[in-house]
């Protein structure tokens, strides 16, 4: 994964995928998140990662998210940032998905 991460322009993980990625060392010193229920374990197993209690986290080319719902929201945020509005609108409409319901951060 270290070699692939060097070449990749973007790496996204959902749920506990960030822990798998952290096991390779590529998230050391980076902000990341994982499933909220696994955040404590992630901090213990991979203390070199700056684990965040967020629905999704961005650190350079690394986009990590919590559970499946947060992952969908993260991908939506990515396409809104990197694609033209007509493509985004069509994609969200075809998925019957409203990204305005939730944001990046957990409710207080």
Domains of the chain by start residue, with CATH: 2-95 (3.40.50.880)
Residue 108 confidence (pLDDT) above 70: no
Structure tokens belonging to residue 23? 């096991």
Quick one: average pLDDT of 14-38?
96
Structure tokens belonging to residue 4? 């692939």
Q: How confident is the model at residue 76 (pLDDT cuts 50, 70, 90)?
A: confident
What φ, ψ does residue 106 adopt, rounded to 5°? Answer: -70, 150
Residue 101 confidence (pLDDT) above 70: no
Residue 94 confidence (pLDDT) above 80: yes
Q: Please tell me which residue, 106 or 28, carries the higher pLDDT value.
A: 28
pLDDT of residue 15: 93
Residue 51 confidence (pLDDT) above 70: yes
- For the entire predicted model, the pTM comes to 0.86
Question: CA-CA distance, 90 to 92, in Å (whole number)?
Answer: 6
Radius of gyration, CA atoms only, the chain: 14
Question: CA-CA distance, 63 to 33, in Å (whole number)?
Answer: 9
Residue 98 confidence (pLDDT) above 80: no
């Amino acid at each position: 994964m270290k070699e692939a991460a060097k070449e990749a322009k973007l790496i996204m993980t959902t749920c506990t995928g960030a822990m798998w990625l952290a096991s390779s060392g590529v998230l050391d010193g980076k902000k990341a998140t994982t499933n909220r229920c696994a955040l404590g374990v992630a901090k213990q197993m991979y203390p070199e990662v700056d684990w965040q209690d967020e629905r999704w986290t961005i650190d350079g080319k690394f986009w990590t998210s919590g559970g499946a719902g947060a992952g969908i929201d993260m991908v939506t945020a990515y396409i809104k940032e990197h694609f033209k509005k007509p493509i985004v609108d069509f994609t969200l409409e075809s998925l019957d998905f409203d990204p305005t319901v939730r944001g990046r951060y957990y409710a207080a």
